[in-house]
Amino acid sequence: FEGLRPPIFTTCPEPLAADDWLRTIESKFTLLPELTEQEKARYAAQLLHGPAGASHATFLARQEKDHVPTWQEFRQAFRAHYILASLMEQKQCEFRELKQGNKTMMQYVQSFIHLSQYAPEDVADDPRRAARLLHGFDPTSRHTWGASFTDLVDIALDMENRLRIANEDQKRKRQANRAPASSSQKPRANY
């Protein structure tokens, strides 16, 4: 199991980090089909360090004597401790209120993709995902109704790039107009 380089878990900055850790461990377990459910729980427990290890020790102390938790019991206790419903709701609200604001299009799309994990029902299919993405766009960017999510991202990134190029061109033209004209005449000598 250690040869598969499973990640250590110490603490959880946000709920999806704990969920990601569980998914990673489960994917490692698929490579070891000979493990029993109790062995999976024991191996996973070995990856809990610091505060997570202390929390697991408390979980084990509450078990009946000689009871070895199964992987399912481990998962349930882990999720109950690290993936709190109130935090998930907070992240869902953050996603639903997400606006582009002063972010670049790429920053907005990255935030959208990250936070959408907390509200999977809001992005369950492409039309809903596209509508939600469009909802958060800067109002000047909302002219592309009806496109798919991928098309919207491509259009928005292209539009942002074109605006950046146009702004750079305007800036260059202004600077060129301000630059003093070079003169081919010799300077006059004043005596």
Is residue 111 situated within a structural domain? Answer: yes
Is residue 38 situated within a structural domain? Answer: yes
Is residue 185 situated within a structural domain? Answer: no
> Residue 36, class by beta-carbon neighbours within 10 Å (0-12 exposed, 13-18 middle, 19+ buried)?
exposed
Cβ distance 149 to 129 under 8 Å?
yes
Residue 146, pLDDT score: 54
Is residue 162 situated within a structural domain? Answer: yes
Residues 55 and 119 grouped into a single domain: no
Is residue 152 situated within a structural domain? Answer: yes
Residue at a domain's end among 49, 83, 117: 83
Is residue 8 situated within a structural domain? Answer: yes
Range of the domain at 108: 97-177
Residue at a domain's end among 83, 108, 134: 83
Is residue 36 situated within a structural domain? Answer: yes
Between CA 147 and CA 126 the distance in angstroms is 9
Residues 76 and 104 grouped into a single domain: no
Q: What residue type is 121 in one-letter code?
A: E
Residue 191, pLDDT score: 47
Residues 69 and 121 grouped into a single domain: no
pTM, to two decimals? 0.55
Residues 46 and 101 grouped into a single domain: no
Residues 102 and 168 grouped into a single domain: yes
Cβ distance 82 to 12 under 8 Å?
yes
Token pair of 141 as six digits = 């960017």
15-23 long-range Cβ contacts below 8 angstroms, 24+ apart: 15/82, 15/83, 15/84, 15/87, 15/88, 15/91, 15/118, 16/91, 16/117, 16/118, 18/78, 18/79, 18/82, 18/83, 19/79, 19/83, 22/75, 22/78, 22/79
Token pair of 93 as six digits = 């609200």
Residue 174, pLDDT score: 80
Is residue 52 situated within a structural domain? Answer: yes
Residues 103 and 65 grouped into a single domain: no
pLDDT tens for the chain, 191 residues: list them. Answer: 676 788 888 887 777 788 889 989 999 999 989 999 999 999 999 999 999 888 888 888 888 888 999 999 999 998 888 888 888 888 899 999 999 888 888 899 899 998 998 888 999 888 888 888 888 887 766 665 556 677 777 777 776 777 778 778 788 888 888 766 555 555 555 54
Residues 110 and 68 grouped into a single domain: no
Residues 56 and 120 grouped into a single domain: no
Residues 102 and 171 grouped into a single domain: yes
156-159 long-range Cβ contacts below 8 angstroms, 24+ apart: 156/105, 156/109, 157/105, 157/106, 157/109, 159/105
Residues 20 and 45 grouped into a single domain: yes
Residues 34 and 79 grouped into a single domain: yes
* Count of structural domains, the chain: 2
